[in-house]
Amino acid sequence: MAISYDELNRIFTIQTKDSTYQMMADRHDRLLHLYYGRKSAGRMDYLLTYADRGFSGNPYDVGDDRAYSLDTLPQEYPSQGTGDYRSPALVVETESGKAGCDLRFDSYKIRDGKYSLPKLPAVYADADADRAQTLVVTLRDPEAKLRVELLYGVLPELNIITRAVVIYNDSDEKIYLNRALSANLDFVGGDYDLMTFYGRHAMERTPQRVPVSHGEQVVISRRGTSSHQYNPLLILADREAAETAGSCYAMELVYSGGFMGMAGLDQFGQTRMQIGLSDHMFHYPVESGASFTTPETILSFSGGGLSGLSRQLHDCIRSHVVRGYWRDRVRPVLLNSWEGCYLTFDAEKILNLAREAKGLNLDLFVLDDGWFGKRDSDNSGLGDWFVNEKKIGDLHRLVEQIHGMGLLFGIWFEPEMVNEDSNLFRAHPDWALAIPGRKPVRARNQLVLDFSRREVVDAIYDQVCRIIDMGPVDYVKWDYNRSIAEVYSQAGREAGAVLYDYILGLYDFLERLCTRYPKLLIEGCSGGGGRFDAGMLYYTPQIWCSDNTDPIDRLRIQYGTSFGYPVSSMGAHVSVSPNEQDGRVTPLYTRTVIAMSGTFGYELDPAKMSEAEKAEVRRDVARQKRYASLISGGDYYRLTDPLKGGPAAWEIVSKDGTEILVSIVTQNNHGNMTQDYVRLQGLDKEALYLLDDNGEDAAKASDQPGGSAPGGQNSSMGLNTAGKRGIVYGGGALMEAGLPVPLRFGEYLAYQWHFTRQ
Ligand code: GLA
């Protein structure tokens, strides 16, 4: 059993395969956090210390015990107004202005299976197959008549614990939530680093690692969306923790709206870490008798470094967040029209692109922005999801022709947006988030539709379904290209509820779409990776990772993304060189190797490629298909940090350990180069590994197949000791000494080597 309760000492213990989580209802009925970390037996209440501390107040009910203060004790779910002056997880106020609450342990329930959350995405798991369990701890403030349920979901084999909170207003008065976080973690010590993932449009999820220091280090999105700027993923790591060693903790929020995450040291050097809804413009009314559910957060602990922590998150997202038909299926290799022709096309152009896609053995053609309403520029048309027949003729006919070529058909939508120059806006100007009488903030010349209103969601849903049915459409790219500025619903909803209700509207739309079209593949997108989060992945199994398709920038973006998200969730495409975002020149094979570590596709006009390049693409596509299930289902290892500028390297090992795919991209070239070695991970040190596929050689003309082998008989496939074609390497040496990166002439060269365990 993953969850146990020691009645006598009122201690709850959660055991996963390699971690233990413990909390206790103390003698004053407060729920104190005792421990989270490396697996342990026994009680951890010995960690609590009590001392009389100046200016740390004592709750009334502890009498003259001046050593008991909630300002110093580690708490499970701290609320404002209890004399804990650190960052609270819950801030409540009644309509008549009484602030604060004091939560006491009331009761608990343990049951098999994992809870789900109404209207919100959440990790799912099975009672039998996953041995998942749920713990519900109920806290109560009898004065305020508030009931709080702390939910814990446990997936023991995956080392995953999830948390969410439900707040019930049992009073006769309306209350407001000014903050309601999903999780709080207090540690009695503090020698940690905090990793966050910052960025900007076209340069998302750069890791930042800094020591947790006195004060509060906060990341927050006030944009109504999880954002390009910060990702809702926080990692707390032992100062000494590295990729392959040391203790580290992740908090990954399953939510797509504004969020906040915090880590800091208190006055006594104790660490607090939190994640949940952003409290920016959050003042959520809960009527008497009603309740509020926070989004869920995923917690994970690894005692074996960051790499192990990421793999736990990957497994959780891959098999317990992503759902439906496409979850375990190899995703179709696509050609997206955006960088190939942007908004300028007609039916002929589209059919030509599709024919080219077929000629390259791709599976799916995606018609991006520009096919609807009056959309000849990005200043108009959003909101009018009807076919621009002047441009592409009859959509059904077009799709029939594309299906007739043996391709799937996909199409782009940006359902949450409206241009002022659209029929929709002219008919319903109040459907936009805007303040009447004030000029709105425009971004990309568009406004955000008020998805907190059911009639708005319904109207767009009908339009989108009509197009999907007309196609029929096999794939949808769901885009979202600005941040919310005016937090104001013209339907009269209180401003403090709008941002959260907006996200519920979005989830409602997506849930209905997933139910109505169970085989539809949806790719999330928000100007690339502006809404790359576990909430979206519950509906959209893959997300366009970034609008930046420069492969060298992509090395960094995909590296940062890999800390919390699996390769199978990252949309990655081969585009032209020089790159359209930054002009960098890179070999086709390099672009391919990098895009292959994602949901693979092309985003260019193949008609502009030479025959030699097309021949290489056909070989690349065949290789990608050969390794697609290894890539999407295997264990991912970061071998180097590409931000350091040396060779970028990563490795995927099949779950049964028999297959290994190593990818390396050189970033720095010098005369008279020193030799770089890349050390592999996750192999059997006793085993031998046969190099059986060298891939292409990016340094050679692209019509000559066959790449360099690492070391020894470079460029040639000799006979190994077993008499098979290929070179055999020892697992121990591959991990200890590594593979030499070929010394070749040329910039940004890529190598991709496939090994089979002997
Ligand atoms: C966003 C997306 C792009 C493309 C354009 C179309 O920027 O991220 O991939 O779809 O919109 O306008």
pLDDT in tens, 440-475: 999 999 999 999 999 999 999 999 999 999 999 999
Q: How confident is the model at residue 428 (pLDDT cuts 50, 70, 90)?
A: very high
User: How far, in Å, from the CA of 503 to the mean position of ligand 1?
Assistant: 21
What is the band of 713 on the pLDDT scale with cuts at 50, 70, 90? Answer: very low
Residue 367 contacts residue 375 (beta carbons within 8 Å): no
User: Average pLDDT of 142-164?
Assistant: 98
DSSP β-ladder status, 542-544 and 175-187: unpaired
Cα maximum dimension of the chain:
86
Handedness of CA 93, 292, 250, 18 (dihedral sign): positive
Q: Are 589 and 663 in contact (CB under 8 A)?
A: no
pLDDT at 144: 95
Going by pLDDT thresholds of 50, 70 and 90, the confidence category of residue 696 is confident
Quick one: which of 28, 35, 29 has its CA closest to 14? 35
Cα 297 to averaged position of ligand 1 atoms, centre (Å): 29
**Beta-bridge mates of residue 191:** none
**Substitution candidate for ligand 1 out of 200, 225, 341, 369 with most atoms within 8 A of CB:** 369
Give pLDDT, residue 492: 94
Q: Is 126 left (phi over 0), alpha (psi -120 to 50) or beta?
A: beta
Q: For residues 523 and 114, what is the distance between their CA atoms, to the nearest angstrom?
A: 27
Name the 3-class secondary structure at 665. strand
pLDDT tier for residue 722 given thresholds of 50, 70 and 90 = very low
Protein residue with its CA nearest to atom 4 in ligand 1: 338
Cα–Cα distance for residue pair 381/407, rounded to 1 Å: 28
Q: For residue 547, which atom of ligand 1 is closest to its CA?
A: 8
Dihedral, 92, 95, 97, 102 alpha carbons, nearest 10: -30
**What is the structure's pLDDT at 721?**
46
Confidence of residue 710 (pLDDT cuts 50, 70, 90): confident
Give residue 527 CA to ligand 1 midpoint distance, Å. Answer: 5
CB within 6 Å of ligand 1 — which residues? Answer: 338, 368-369, 378, 412, 479, 481, 525, 527-528, 544, 547
pLDDT at 520: 98
Q: Give the pLDDT band of residue 233 (cuts 50, 70, 90).
A: very high
By three-state DSSP, how is residue 184 classified? strand
Confidence check: pLDDT of 399 > 80: yes
Instruction: Tell me the average pLDDT across 389-408.
Output: 98
Given a contact cutoff of 8 angstroms between Cβ atoms, the answer to whether 684 and 690 are in contact is no
Closest CA to 317 of 381, 253, 260: 253
Instruction: Please give the distance, rounded to the nearest whole angstrom, from the Cα atom of residue 411 to the centre of ligand 1.
Output: 12
Confidence of residue 724 (pLDDT cuts 50, 70, 90): low
* Residue whose token pair is 């590295």: 242
Residue 528 CA: nearest ligand 1 atom is 8
Q: How high is the pLDDT of residue 709?
A: 76
Contacts of 27 (CB under 8 A, 6+ apart): none
- Asked whether 41 and 51 are in contact (CB, 8 A), the reply is no
Q: What span, in angstroms and rounded, lies between the C-alpha atoms of 525 and 384? A: 19
Question: Relative to the CA of 412, which ligand 1 atom is closest?
Answer: 10
716 pLDDT tier (thresholds 50, 70, 90): very low
If one residue of 445, 547, 599 were mutated to test the ligand 1 pocket, choosing by the most ligand atoms within 8 A of its CB, it would be 547
Averaged confidence pLDDT in the chain: 96
Mutate to test the pocket of ligand 1, among 412, 475, 476, 526 (most ligand atoms within 8 A of CB): 412
For ligand 1, mutation pick of 228, 344, 377, 525 (most atoms within 8 Å of CB) = 525
Q: Which of 176, 173, 179, 168 is nearest to 293 (CA)?
A: 168
70 C-beta neighbours (distance < 10 Å), count: 23
Q: How far does residue 187's CA lie from ligand 1's centre (Å)?
A: 43
Would you state the pLDDT for residue 714?
43
- Flag whether pLDDT at 537 surpasses 60: yes
Residue 139 has pLDDT above 80, yes or no: yes
**Measuring from atom 2 of ligand 1, which residue has the nearest CA?**
527
431 has pLDDT over 50 = yes
The total of other beta-carbon atoms located within 10 Å of residue 648's CB is 29
Residue that the structure tokens 């994602």 belong to: 598
pLDDT, average across residues 286-298:
98
Ligand 1 centroid, distance to 477 Cα (angstroms): 9
Quickly state the pLDDT bin for 718 (edges 50, 70, 90).
very low
Among protein residues, the one with the nearest Cα to ligand 1's atom 12 is 369
Residues in the chain: 758
- The pLDDT of residue 702 is 54
With a pLDDT cut of 70, the percent of the chain lying above it is 97
Ligand 1 atom with the smallest distance to the CA of 368 is 10
369 Cα–ligand 1 center, Å: 7
Q: Is the pLDDT assigned to residue 720 strictly greater than 80?
A: no
Please state, in angstroms and rounded to a whole number, the distance separating the CA atoms of residues 405 and 383.
31
Tens-digit pLDDT profile for residues 578-635? 999 999 999 999 999 999 999 999 999 999 999 999 999 999 999 999 999 999 999 9
Supply the residue whose CA is at minimum distance from atom 1 of ligand 1.
Answer: 527
Model confidence pLDDT, tens digit, residues 306-354:
999 999 999 999 999 999 999 999 999 999 999 999 999 999 999 999 9
Q: Which amino acid is at 89?
A: A
**pLDDT tens-digit series, residues 43-87:** 999 999 999 999 999 999 999 999 999 999 999 999 999 999 999
Q: Which residues are catalytic?
A: 533, 613
642: CA distance to ligand 1 center in Å?
Answer: 26
Reported confidence tier of residue 725, pLDDT bands at 50, 70, 90: low
Above pLDDT 90, what percent of the chain? 94
Task: Please give the number of the atom of ligand 1 that sits closest to the Cα of 527.
Answer: 8
| pLDDT at 717 exceeding the cut of 60 | no
Ligand 1, atom 7: closest residue by C-alpha: 527
Q: What does R_g of the chain's alpha carbons equal in angstroms?
A: 27
Residue 693 CA to residue 713 CA, distance in Å, equals 14
Report the nearest atom of ligand 1 relative to the CA of 378: 12
Q: 3-state class of 427 per DSSP?
A: helix
- pLDDT range class, residue 703, cuts 50, 70, 90: low
Is the pLDDT at 701 greater than 60, yes or no? no
